[in-house]
Every structure is written in C-alpha cells, then in structure tokens.
Structure 1
C-alpha cells in the first residue's frame, strides 16, 4: 500500500481529531473528578512547604 500525503492528511484529519477530542475529555474528567480536589490542593501547596 502506497501512502501519499493526501492519504495521510485524510487519516490525520479524521482519526487525529477524534484522538485529540477523546484525550481532551479524558484530561478534563481526570482533573475535575471528586477525589482530585485534595490532590490539587496538595500540589498547589508544594512551593510553600518548608517555609515555616
């Protein structure tokens, strides 16, 4: 099978877009899940640890 530029571009336009949308939704769901609040708060306080 000979893959030329147009074939690759068509593949990237269709499946690449789907991949990026699924990745984006997964990141948003992972970030805003209920158990993520404590993890995010702990990560936000990392620079302040040791300033006592």
Structure 2
C-alpha cells in the first residue's frame, strides 16, 4: 500500500492540474464574455462615483473639510 503523500501527489499531478486549468479557462471566458463591458466599466469607476471636485488642501483644519458629495 502506498503512503498518503504519494497518493496525494499523483492525484494533484493529474486531476488537480486538470481542475486548475479548467478553473483558469472558466475565469477567462467569464471575464471576456459578450456583454460584460458595461459591468466592467461600472466596476472600474466605483472609486470615482462621488468625485465631484478635487481633493482639499492638506493644510485645512479637519473641521473645515467636507465630503465631495456635499
């Protein structure tokens, strides 16, 4: 009977590699699927959603700073 390490190594070398390859290809296909451009652009613009004006000076007192949305 083979030890556990050898069995796991054989499994990872065959089926594990196959699973990781299929998972990688699935992520690529999901990312590049037709119609996903709008979703990706919306997600990429999340940090700029409420950015109405430039950031305030660092010299201003904390009580004087307001959010860009207000």
TM-score by length of 2: 0.68
User: How far apart in 1 are the matches of 2:3 and 2:46?
Assistant: 49
Larger Rg: 1 or 2? 2
User: How far apart in 2 are the matches of 1:25 and 1:9?
Assistant: 23
Shift of 1:35: 1.3
| Counterpart in the other structure of 2:42 | 42
Shift of 1:34: 1.1
Unaligned runs of 5+ in 2: 53-70
Q: CA RMSD in A?
A: 1.6
Q: How many residues align?
A: 52
Unaligned runs of 5+ in 1: none
Structure 1 segments, 4+ long, off by >3 Å, are none
TM-score by length of 1: 0.90
Q: Are 2:29 and 1:29 equivalent residues in the alignment?
A: yes
Identify, as 1 or 2, the structure richer in helix: 1
| Counterpart in the other structure of 1:18 | 18
